[in-house]
Amino acid sequence: MRTAMATAVPRWVWLATVVAVLVTLVLAICIGAVYITPADIWSTIAAQIFGDKHGENNAYSTIIWQLRLPRVLLAFLVGSILASAGCAYQGVFRNPLADPYLLGVSAGAGLGATLVIAYAGTTRDIYLPVAAFGGAIAAVSITYLLGRSAISGRSSTALILAGVAVASVLTAAQTLVQQQNTDVLREVYTWILGRLSTSGWSELLIIAPYILLCSVVLLQYRRVLDVFSVGDDEAQTMGLPVAQARGAIIVAASLGTAAAVSFTGLIGFVGIIVPHILRLVVGSSYRILLPLSMFYGGIFLVLADILARTVLAPQEIPIGVVTALLGAPFFLFVLGSRRSGSIT
Amino acid sequence: MGEWVCIIGPNGAGKSSLLKAIAGINSSTGDLDVDDVNLRELSHRDRACWLAYVAQEPIMPAGMKVFDYVLLGRTAHLKMLASESDLDIEVAHSAINELGLEAFLDRDVASLSGGERQRVAIARALTQASPIVLLDEPTTALDVGYQQEVLELIDRLCKENKIAVITTMHDLTIAGLYPDEIILLHKGSIHDKGKPEKVLTRENISTIYGANIEIVISNGTLAVIPVRLKS
């Protein structure tokens, strides 16, 4: 008799994923206002790592170390956490429309950022990420407390509705601030559409610990997300402490998302499209979906960023616009070619 | 142990609510003692080691393989963030063999027919390895052939594996056919209980269900036959 094992990511998929990540990263470092060949990238990186100054090109070194590498890694990390947080939200709410902004992260971050842009004056660069992060965390906390007290923590619908209510209030407040300060409209709008421009490594180093920690926590819950898929009632009778597990997953996903949006603004679409494309290709077990969402979310955003900074160069297209323009048709293509596939 | 208790009663009598209260899904008052253990005081996980529950129409997550679905039954025996051990895999396999589902291992649970779904859900409950299994209307969505198949299966598990089974049921003839004991609910409280032939009487059913019926016993089988009201 054949012995089946629990579903896990097959080895060849891991292999293909690692190759895809490497190719994407190299491509993203090559392409830009100055084209740098992979060989030059290698010699520059080797020079830095091994202290081998022979054949070093200072211009390349600056472009790679100060401009491209931090930006590419930032894109990868942000895409990764947005996709895996979206994937986790879809599982924990059993709702295919869930994205990482479901419980008010975007509205909270938006309000925080708008307040700083409108009123902080010259100190805005320092306080913008802090305010966006704080706004996001505050919004999710309010949503969670309201939703929980309404239904003693068991129904996910109450949480989603609380999220809608909190988001409406915060968005209204943000609109009011914006309308009172029309001179900063353009800047607010740029922030909301998302951007990946960095000033070296500082942003990356600040948010990387949050994102990595949240990713590790979410990964631990991949089997639990499968248990959620049979519904709250049965998951509970199977021994899952439903409210507690949902709380932990929401905290990890929200914290990671808040860290991501604090510097990059509201990059839409990654969190909803990447998990769904993977679902159509590899099935719906979260043991596979969650780890793959992390990698392909990163790849997707790095590729989107290449387009954002090259298509209208030297102008940059807002990254959120590219993710939507690129993601939606690709998703429809996958959907069309996999009619038998399931979305939920 | 090894007894099949069936809860019957008209629509709205509280059959499913009672079952969900026992399962710990609905909040309720009162105690639930099994072998001197009060299950109501246990955590979800410890309770799940005593009780498994199969909903009336279990949710079959699209895209999930039968084996993965059955394996989810081991949740109560795993730490929250642990993965399954070889033992868990083995238990899931033996439940699958027990229910004759070997050919379905890789099938998508959402693509199964009603009878297959019910069997897969029962396999998941067996994998939970609890001494008590609660089944809410296990045959309602099935036609007569599948009904018989599922009922025979529950009966076998009950007798051979010494599992106590509690089901709800609205088909009175089936209720008379398989269970060892029947509880007749009326407006949320117990109207009568005992052996099927004691509870399923013309008087009980006409009072509680407001139905005009005849009880027929042929070859030792009790059947509840509706009778037309003559004008």
pLDDT digits (tens, 9 = 90+) for B102-145: 899 889 999 998 888 999 999 999 999 899 999 999 888 788 88
Q: Which carries the bigger pLDDT value, residue A8 or residue A215? A: A215
pLDDT band at A55 (very low <50, low <70, confident <90, very high): low
Q: Is the pLDDT of residue A341 over 70?
A: no
pLDDT at res. B73: 92
Partner-chain contact A238 B80, CB within 8 Å:
no
pLDDT band at A1 (very low <50, low <70, confident <90, very high): very low
Instruction: For chain B, give the DSSP string.
Output: ---EEEEE-STTSSHHHHHHHHHTSS---S--EETTEEGGGS-HHHHHTTEEEE-SS----TT-BHHHHHHGGGGGGS-TT----HHHHHHHHHHHHHTT-GGGTTSBGGGS-HHHHHHHHHHHHHHTT-SEEEESSTTTTS-HHHHHHHHHHHHHHHHHS--EEEEE-S-HHHHHHS-SEEEEEETTEEEEEESHHHHS-HHHHHHHH---EEEEEETTEEEEEE-PPP-
Q: Is the separation of the CB atoms in B50 and B163 below 8 Å?
A: no
B24 contact residues in A (CB cutoff 8 A):
236-237
Which pTM value belongs to this model? 0.88
pLDDT at res. B160: 87
Partner-chain contact B62 A221, CB within 8 Å:
no
A285 contact residues in B (CB cutoff 8 A):
63-65, 68
pLDDT at res. A37: 86
pLDDT at res. A343: 46
pLDDT at res. A54: 60
Nearest-CA distance B49 → chain A (Å):
8
CA B55 to CA B44: how far, in whole Å?
17
Domain-located, residue B189: yes
CA A299 to CA A79: how far, in whole Å?
7
Q: Who contacts B89 (Cβ-Cβ below 8 Å, separation ≥6)?
A: A3, A4, A5, A6, B71
> Across the A/B interface, how many CB contacts are shorter than 8 Å?
115
Taking a contact as any Cβ pair under 8 Å apart, which residues of chain A between 272 and 331 contact chain B?
279, 283-285
Domain-located, residue B203: no
Partner-chain contact B105 A238, CB within 8 Å:
no
**Residue pointed to by tokens 């056919």:** B177
pLDDT at res. A338: 61
Output the domain CATH number for residue B134. 3.40.50.300
B51 contact residues in A (CB cutoff 8 A):
237
Structural domain that includes position B155: 4-195
Partner-chain contact B89 A5, CB within 8 Å:
yes
Q: Copy the structure tokens of residue A104.
A: 């008010």
- Which of the 8 DSSP states describes residue A284? S
Segments of chain B with pLDDT less than 50: none
pLDDT digits (tens, 9 = 90+) for B174-197: 888 889 999 999 988 899 999 988
Q: Tell which residue, A319, A324, A290, A335, has the closest CA to residue A83.
A: A290
- ipTM, interface predicted TM-score of the complex: 0.88
CATH number of A38-45+58-337: 1.10.3470.10
Nearest-CA distance A338 → chain B (Å):
13
Domains identified in chain B, total number:
1
Instruction: For A91-133, give the DSSP string.
Output: HHTT-TT--TTTTSHHHHHHHHHHHHHHH-GGGHHHHHHHHHH
Tell me which residue in B62, B73, B93 faces A238 most closely, judged by beta carbons: B73
Taking a contact as any Cβ pair under 8 Å apart, which residues of chain A between 223 and 252 contact chain B?
223-224, 226-227, 229-231, 233-242, 245
